């Protein structure tokens, strides 16, 4: 018996000679000696049911039908229609500290599988697998999936759906008999991607209850399953979705499956979130270990394709006045790109858009102490471009058929050396010729025909963009890359190893953004998530929101602005200055603390915050999304603080709502001192807020 254990979780493997099973995955268990191991085996030994086989398999890692499993297997493949049944034996299963490496062999099928399980100090379980063809002839791999068992009390599943401007919308449903499946075939993780799949108890909330999550560290096609079988097994699985013929292994060749990332929490969904944040932030290359996240102004919604240098200089003047640290010039600076129908693929500064080149505007920006960033979409090409006219064969396509277009774009085949080098070298040349600290890399369509020379290549295309990002960073030390894909179409736990920021959504409406940001942040830390103040009248929903509501929405992320700020009046400018100053002062806390999301405030409002790891400081936001059901009393409590510590609670009035539906404010307004215990159980009487407004609280230990 092999027992991996960390602060709050355990996973136990049972090796019976021929097979390896997961006996338990859940809340931390104490040390297991030989006697207790035997007792656990007996306790979990299944009866043999009438009408079934003469074996009752446990939670087998590889789930072979030849061993009596009746659900989905971990491996599926064949050798030209034969050798489709597998019966693996365990060659070795070795524990080293809190990791276990297991090697399985199937002599008849000519296969070897190696799986490594690592339970990190953050209670995140990492799984890595490799499938090797050890026999003569080709092995056609259909899929390899990771599977983990679920406890009986896991009776619901939470996953996410969405589309452009409305990503990561939650759906929660019961785990009934059969298979619950979410699959993505876009050639990217996608707007409809379930960023992680969570099994949980029906009573589990943000702050309480048990939850089990499983996600793929992968930016290509994907599968997520929850399976409940009639024999009592319940499990969660995930893997890369392979297209027919995508992986064909010759003798000695291996398929390295993308990493799977799992976690267990007995502290609700916030526990899962904080497990992931702790693990991500512990990496040596984590972005906040390099530098604080710069306050960013992106110019897309300010200028679109109208690149007028004088207007942009005016915007930069205002940006410097309010304290912006990075300015990003978006689409339209290159080739014949005066609209979205031409120019993609020609990454050369346009003399039409920038007669004097980019150097003068970059110098103007840098002289004000601001970094410069630039937009690219290197994986795409317009047919109206010099690149396509020269190399129409450099797109992904079924031979003899031109794919349908999305945004008048085709997809460049980065598995072709010529196409890959063209993009890499043109982007490299622009970066080498100018002082560019940051690139925003877009991906504005999904892959309908991901075929190269007749074979599907989603996997190779995904690996190519990882490789390109890494190479650009190697050539340009300190370069940061933002992953954008029509907003949030490529946000996943694979891209965090290659990009430094995600554009969370093209939706800048703060009311819509609340839900998008809340659930994207389930596993992705806020320092990765671009959150911007959009225009007063939103370009997506055409709604008008106060600048304070937009600021509060944008604060809990990698904060920025997406607005022609020369339009801001005196009041809006003062709020922008306050927003920038507060973010700069407190971003270390916002990007390092423990997440707290209230279970008490639900429905028409949200309360969430970040508590410092030492619990000496906290920032909370209360957002009134729609109208109140009554005028009061409206009490809110604040969880996650130290019970014995006395905190000075202060409303940050210059970033909070200024209009209320009340004759007088609550008696404590705008500051008072309470202990963490009192704040958690007595709470504060709030003012009567109008819809689409909010409050910002700062708490400091006295």
574 and 527 in a common domain? yes
Active-site pick, 331, 506, 509, 639: 506
Residue 274, pLDDT above cutoff 90: yes
Residue 633, pLDDT above cutoff 70: no
Tokens of 454: 């007749």
CB contact at 8 A, 420 and 466: no
pLDDT band (50, 70, 90) for residue 45? confident
Euclidean distance between CA atoms 415 and 395, whole angstroms: 10
Q: Beta-carbon neighbour count of residue 30 at 10 Å?
A: 9
Tokens of 674: 């309470």
Say what the pTM is: 0.97
Tokens of 275: 């497990």
Could you give the C-alpha distances from 551 to 521, 526, 680, in angstroms and in order? 18, 15, 26
**DSSP class per residue in 68-111:** T--S--SEEEEBTTB------EEEEEEEETTEEEEEEEETTTTE
414 and 268 in a common domain? no
> How does pLDDT run across 485-499, given as a tens digit for each residue?
999 999 999 999 999
CB contact at 8 A, 624 and 660: no
567 and 457 in a common domain? yes
Prior bond of 311 cis (ω within 30°): no
Residue 637, pLDDT above cutoff 70: yes
530 and 410 in a common domain? yes
Query: Residue 376: which CATH number?
Result: 3.20.20.70
Give me the mean pLDDT over the 211-236 stretch.
97
State phi, psi for 236 to the nearest 5 degrees.
Answer: -125, 135
129 and 45 in a common domain? yes
Query: Residue 642: which CATH number?
Result: 2.60.40.1180
Tokens of 440: 């925003």
Higher per-residue confidence, 216 vs 34: 216
> How does pLDDT run across 200-213, given as a tens digit for each residue?
999 999 999 999 99
337 and 385 in a common domain? yes
3-state SS class at 257: coil
Smallest CA-to-CA distance from 645 within 680, 607, 695 is with 680
457 and 338 in a common domain? yes
Active-site pick, 106, 442, 500, 639: 442
Total number of domains constituting the chain:
3
> Is 506 considered catalytic here?
yes
Query: Residue 151: which CATH number?
Result: 2.70.98.60
184 and 76 in a common domain? yes
Instruction: Choose one of 281, 301, 323: the last residue of a domain.
Output: 281
> Is 588 considered catalytic here?
no
In which residue are the tokens 């205002």 written?
318
State phi, psi for 424 to the nearest 5 degrees.
Answer: -55, -45
Average pLDDT of the chain is 96
3-state SS class at 610: strand
178 and 57 in a common domain? yes
> How does pLDDT run across 529-568, given as a tens digit for each residue?
999 999 999 999 999 999 999 999 999 999 999 999 999 9
581 and 526 in a common domain? yes
Euclidean distance between CA atoms 179 and 234, whole angstroms: 10
Instruction: Choose one of 281, 306, 336: the last residue of a domain.
Output: 281
> Above pLDDT 90, what percent of the chain?
94
DSSP 660: B
363 and 254 in a common domain? no
Instruction: Choose one of 226, 249, 281: the last residue of a domain.
Output: 281
Q: Which residues pair with 689 in a beta bridge?
A: 660
Residue 17: per-residue pLDDT: 74
Which residues have C-beta within 8 Å of that of residue 70, sequence separation ≥ 6? 229, 230, 231
Residue 46: per-residue pLDDT: 85
412 and 273 in a common domain? no
Strand intervals (E) in 534-616: 558-561, 594-597, 605-611
> Above pLDDT 70, what percent of the chain?
100
Query: Which residue range forms the structural domain that includes residue 419?
Result: 290-588
Greatest CA separation for the chain = 84
């Amino acid at each position: 018996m092999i027992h991996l254990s960390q602060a709050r979780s355990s996973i136990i493997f049972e090796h019976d000679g021929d097979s390896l099973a997961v006996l338990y995955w859940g809340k931390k268990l104490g040390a297991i000696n030989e006697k207790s191991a035997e007792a656990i085996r007996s306790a979990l030994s299944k009866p043999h049911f009438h009408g079934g086989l003469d074996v009752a398999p446990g939670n087998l890692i590889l789930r072979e039908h030849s061993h009596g499993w009746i659900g989905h297997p971990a491996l599926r493949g064949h050798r030209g229609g034969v050798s489709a049944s597998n019966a693996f034996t365990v060659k070795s299963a070795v524990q080293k500290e809190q990791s276990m490496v297991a090697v399985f062999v199937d002599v008849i099928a000519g296969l070897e599988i190696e799986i490594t399980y690592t339970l990190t100090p953050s209670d995140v379980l990492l799984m890595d697998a490799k499938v090797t063809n050890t026999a003569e002839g080709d092995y056609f791999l259909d899929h390899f999936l990771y599977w983990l068992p679920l406890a009986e009390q896991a009776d619901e599943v939470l996953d996410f759906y969405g589309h452009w401007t409305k990503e990561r919308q939650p759906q929660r449903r019961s785990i009934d008999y059969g298979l619950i499946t979410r699959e993505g075939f876009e050639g990217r993780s996608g707007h409809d991607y379930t960023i992680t799949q969570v099994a949980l108890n029906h009573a589990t909330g943000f702050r309480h209850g048990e939850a089990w999550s499983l996600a793929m560290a992968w930016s290509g096609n994907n599968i997520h399953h929850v399976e409940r079988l009639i024999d009592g097994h319940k499990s969660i699985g995930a893997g890369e979705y392979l297209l027919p013929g995508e992986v064909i292994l010759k003798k000695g060749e291996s398929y390295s499956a993308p990493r799977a990332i799992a976690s267990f929490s007995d502290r609700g969904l916030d526990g899962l979130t904080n497990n992931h944040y702790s693990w991500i932030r512990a990496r040596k290359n984590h972005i906040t270990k390099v530098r604080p996240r710069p306050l960013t102004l992106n110019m897309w919604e300010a200028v679109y394709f109208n690149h007028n240098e004088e207007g942009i200089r005016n915007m930069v003047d205002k940006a410097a006045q309010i304290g912006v640290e990075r300015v990003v010039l978006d689409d339209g600076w290159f080739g014949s790109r005066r609209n979205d129908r031409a120019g993609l693929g020609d990454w050369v500064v346009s003399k039409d858009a920038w007669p004097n080149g980019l150097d003068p505007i970059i110098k103007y920006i840098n002289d004000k102490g601001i970094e410069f960033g630039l937009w690219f979409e290197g994986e795409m090409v317009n047919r109206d471009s010099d690149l396509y006219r020269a190399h129409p064969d450099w797109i992904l396509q079924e031979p003899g058929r031109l794919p349908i277009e999305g945004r008048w774009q085709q997809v460049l085949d980065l598995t072709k050396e010529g196409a890959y080098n063209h993009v890499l070298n043109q982007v490299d040349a622009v970066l080498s010729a100018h002082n560019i600290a940051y690139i925003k890399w877009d991906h504005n369509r999904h892959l309908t025909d991901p075929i190269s020379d007749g074979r599907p290549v989603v996997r190779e295309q995904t690996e190519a963009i990882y490789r390109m990002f890494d190479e650009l960073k190697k050539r340009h030390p300190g370069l940061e890359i933002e992953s954008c894909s029509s907003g949030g179409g490529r946000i996943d736990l694979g891209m965090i190893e290659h990009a430094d920021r995600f554009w969370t959504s093209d939706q800048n409406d703060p009311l819509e953004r609340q839900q998008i940001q809340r659930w994207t942040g389930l596993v992705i830390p806020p320092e990765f998530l671009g959150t911007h103040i959009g225009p007063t009248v939103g370009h997506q929903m055409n709604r008008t929101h106060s600048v304070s509501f937009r600021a509060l929405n944008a604060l809990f992320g990698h904060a920025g602005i997406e607005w022609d700020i020369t339009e801001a009046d005196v009041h809006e400018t003062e709020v922008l200055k306050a927003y920038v100053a507060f973010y700069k002062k407190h971003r270390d806390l916002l990007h390092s603390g423990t997440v707290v999301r209230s279970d008490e405030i639900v429905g028409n409002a949200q309360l969430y915050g970040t508590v410092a790891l030492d619990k000496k400081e906290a920032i909370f936001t209360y957002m009134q999304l729609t109208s109140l059901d009554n005028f009061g009393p409206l009490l809110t409590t604040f969880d996650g603080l130290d019970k014995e510590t006395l905190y000075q609670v202060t409303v940050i009035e210059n970033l909070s709502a200024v209009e209320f539906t009340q004759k007088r404010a609550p008696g404590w307004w705008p500051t008072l001192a309470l202990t963490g215990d009192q704040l958690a159980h007595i709470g504060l009487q709030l003012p009567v807020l109008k819809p689409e407004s909010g409050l910002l609280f700062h708490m400091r230990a006295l």
